[in-house]
Amino acid sequence: MLQTVDPRTLQAEAFRADVLAGLARRQKALPSRWLYDDRGCELFEAITKLEEYYPTRAETAILRMHAAEIADFCGKEAVLLEYGAGAAFKTEILLGALATPRLYVPIDIAGNFLQRTAARIRRRFARLQIRPLAADFTADFEIPSGVPLTPRIGFFPGSTIGNLDEAETLAFLSRMRAHVGPQGKALIGVDLKKDIPTLLAAYDDKKGVTAAFNLNLLARVNCELRGTFALDRYAHEARWNDAESAVEMHLVSLCRQRAAVAGRSFAFAAGETIHTESSRKYSADGFADFARRGGWKIGAMWTDRRFGVFGMCAA
Ligand SMILES: C[S@@+](CC[C@H](N)C(=O)[O-])C[C@H]1O[C@@H](n2cnc3c(N)ncnc32)[C@H](O)[C@@H]1O
């Protein structure tokens, strides 16, 4: 008899495997997708409202200012596939501007938060069909059958694309290209290069919300993987990596110590870090080059010079 495995079990296994492998590396590292449990999603929403965190305000203003032009670029009866939808507040601007959108497919690894977002969008757009999909966009997955093929628009706001490394970015762009098909289009929000103090402040706010977001990953490990991290013995750090053109988030061990995860013990030297997220910053030309290599033609770019929303067509 064919047995189906609960997706939550698969996700729990993937989390365990990533944490055990990541803590065994010379530079300890945990994939940023695991920052987003229920608490992590709430903390990220709090980050978007911080004075220092300009990307959400910048992208919101761009979407509002150019809503009609962006809607025109997308065309009528769009099927919107949104990658890493989160709370999808900015999506309301796009859905409100689109001419008779046909279907909205918010995709996110954080399944509970995704259901809450879908319920709110349903209340706001009563006539829109919505099919939330819990999936990891860094791995191959199918868009459910029954989602019309044309015209599909891939929407990837929030500069979440900056969390992917070069190989993951190219793989993601090709995957989205396959999802939307040969007539498809995409809108991607990209954070642009700027002065380093502004970038670092956006990931290390005065109120300590980003620190709480980062440390929540250890709390998640403690809760879901029988971890023994003493949260007060690790600190948040944001640093600029010039070679990668990225702000990195790390958790710094404040002393020499050990922590166990799922029965395995890991040693930390004082000052040793766990790398938890990179947020790459692009030049407009640099991102356009990636887009081309991933199978896309740039059709338009809306920008305030801090942030860019790229309108792309399948090449
Ligand atoms: C930076 S937040 C952006 C949220 C929202 N799109 C915005 O613009 O404010 C990243 C979102 O992507 C989701 N996410 C991160 N990595 C993911 C992955 N590998 N697969 C699916 N969703 C992911 C997170 O759960 C979170 O909701």
Count up the domains in the chain and report the number. 2
Indicate whether 19 and 103 sit together in one domain: no
What six digits make up the tokens of 219?
């709390």
Q: Is residue 2 part of a domain?
A: no
Ligand 1, residue 87: give the atom nearest the CA.
Answer: 5
Cα-based angle 50, 53, 59 (whole degrees, multiple of 5): 115
Q: Which residue has the least CA distance to atom 13 on ligand 1?
A: 84
Return the residue whose CA atom lies nearest to atom 9 of ligand 1.
158
The two structure tokens encoding residue 40: 């992590």
Per this entry, what is the length of the chain?
Answer: 315
CA distance 297 to 285: 12
Q: What is the 304 CA–ligand 1 centroid distance (Å)?
A: 23
Do 127 and 91 lie in one domain? The reply is: yes
Are residues 28 and 70 located together in one domain of the fold?
no
Is residue 281 within 8 Å of residue 191, measured between CB atoms?
Answer: yes
Q: Residue 302's pLDDT band (boundaries 50, 70, 90)?
A: very high
Which ligand 1 atom lies nearest to the CA of residue 44?
Answer: 2
Q: Residue 45: inside a domain, yes or no?
A: no
144 and 293 fall within a common domain? yes
Best residue for ligand 1 mutational test, from 30, 36, 121 (most atoms within 8 Å of Cβ)? 36
Domain-embedded: residue 237? yes
Q: How close is the Cα of 220 to the center of ligand 1, in Å?
A: 17
Same domain for 61 and 151: yes
| Of 3-17, 247-261, 282-296, minimum mean pLDDT range | 3-17
298 and 172 in a common domain? yes
Ligand 1 atom showing the smallest separation from residue 86 Cα: 27
Instruction: Give the per-residue pLDDT at 111.
Output: 95
Question: Are 159 and 286 members of one domain?
Answer: yes
Three-state helix/strand/coil letters over the chain = CCCCCCHHHHHHHHHHHHHHHHHCCCCEECCHHHHCCHHHHHHHHHHHCCCCCHHHHHHHHHHHHCHHHHHHHHCCCCEEEEECCCCCHHHHHHHHHCCCCCEEEEEECCHHHHHHHHHHHHHHCCCCEECCEECCCCCCCCCCCCCCCCCEEEEECCCHHHHCCHHHHHHHHHHHHHHHCCCCEEEEEEEECCCHHHHHHHCCCCCCHHHHHHHHHHHHHHHHCCCCCCHHHEEEEEEEECCCCEEEEEEEECCCEEEEECCEEEEECCCCEEEEEEEECECHHHHHHHHHHCCEEEEEEEECCCEEEEEEEEC
16 in a structural domain: yes
Asked if 94 and 117 touch (Cβ cutoff 8 Å), the reply is: no
3 within domain boundaries: no
Q: Is there a single domain that holds both residue 245 and residue 142?
A: no
At 218-249, the pLDDT tens digits run 999 999 999 999 999 999 999 999 999 999 99
> Ligand 1 centre and the CA of 110: distance in Å?
8
Domain membership of residue 81 (yes or no) is: yes
Q: Give 257 Cα–ligand 1 centroid separation in angstroms.
A: 32
- pLDDT tens-digit series, residues 65-124: 999 999 999 999 999 999 999 999 999 999 999 999 999 999 999 999 999 999 999 999
Q: How far is the CA of 71 from the centre of ligand 1 (A)?
A: 23
Confidence of residue 3 (pLDDT cuts 50, 70, 90): low
Q: Does residue 151 share a domain with residue 71?
A: yes
- Cα separation of 70 and 73, whole Å? 5
Q: Tell me, yes or no, whether 46 lies in a domain.
A: no
User: Are residues 218 and 121 both part of a single domain?
Assistant: no
Nearest atom, ligand 1, residue 45 CA: 9
* Judgement on whether residues 70 and 100 belong to the same structural domain of the protein: yes
- Residue 82's domain is classified under what CATH number? 3.40.50.150
Predicted confidence at residue 1, as pLDDT, reads 56
Give the residue whose CA is nearest to atom 17 of ligand 1: 33
For the residues 173-196, what does the mean pLDDT come to? 97
**What does the pLDDT read at residue 295?**
96
- What residue ranges line ligand 1, CB within 6 angstroms? 33, 36, 41, 44, 48, 56, 84-86, 90, 108-110, 136-138, 157-158, 160
Range of the domain at 147: 54-192+282-314
Name the pLDDT band for 2 (thresholds 50, 70, 90).
low
Q: Do 148 and 289 belong to one domain?
A: yes
Residue 47 in any domain: the answer is no
Q: Over pLDDT 90: what percentage of the chain?
A: 96
pLDDT of 180: 97
- What does each C-alpha distance from 79 to 2, 30, 68 come to in angstroms? 33, 33, 17
